[in-house]
Amino acid sequence: MAHSALQYVIVPGWQGSPEQHWQSHWQRVLPNAVRVEQRDWLTPQRADWVAGLQRAIAAAPGPVILIAHSLGCITTAAWAAQADAINLGKVKGALLVAPADVERLGCPPALQNFAPISRAALPFASLLLGSSNDSAATPQRAAQLAMDWGSEWLILPGVGHINVASGHSTWEQGFAWLYRLQARIERQARRRA
């Protein structure tokens, strides 16, 4: 897969990713990066968010890697469970960071319409990064979602929700995980060739 043809699609979570968020930083520094725009970041509706992701993927001229955070991970799984074959085929992989467990006790009411979480295996390579102390998903729950989705996964120690509040504004270390995912995608493509 030629990196120049690849498009990164940033899939923010609830309330979007502010200017200081690592997703905003990555959008500025990664070549061919675009962000999924949603009409309502504060009171998200699952169907609307899935449709927003669908529009972004359909608009991509070539292969896509999704970079999802929090509710964006849940949106990605919901999209993949119902997407058409053409758009599914565009997605070569997904980096799923700090998924939000919308089925947990105490989940904010605004997010509860995203339940139930799609448990279907993702039909593309994926890497899920959870945290040992994320209030949005326990490490056990993040690991279970990864297994359901067929994702490679890792629970990072003490990194919170991997957002601005937990000190992750540029999150340069995250690029290593993105490149690990890309290397896996390229290895799979070579084996199929």
Cβ–Cβ under 8 Å, residues 28 and 57: no
Query: Looking at residue 163, what is its pLDDT?
Result: 95
Q: Which has more confidence, 140 or 191?
A: 140
Residue 119's domain spans which residues? 3-192
Query: Looking at residue 184, what is its pLDDT?
Result: 93
**Locus of tokens 């990194």:** 159
State how far the Cα of 134 lies from the Cα of 100, in Å rounded to an integer.
Answer: 9
State how far the Cα of 52 lies from the Cα of 12, in Å rounded to an integer.
Answer: 11
> Mind listing the pLDDT tens digit for each residue in 94-127?
999 999 999 999 999 999 999 999 999 999 999 9
b or e along 36-67 (b: 16 or more beta carbons within 10 Å of the residue's beta carbon)? bebeeeeebebeebbebbbebbeebeebbbbb
Percent of the chain at pLDDT exceeding 90: 94
Number of domains, the chain: 1
Query: Looking at residue 189, what is its pLDDT?
Result: 85
Write the CATH number for 33.
Answer: 3.40.50.1820
> Which residues are registered as beta bridge partners of 91?
64
Whether the pLDDT of residue 138 is over 90: the answer is yes
State how far the Cα of 185 lies from the Cα of 180, in Å rounded to an integer.
Answer: 9
Secondary structure (3-state) at 33: strand
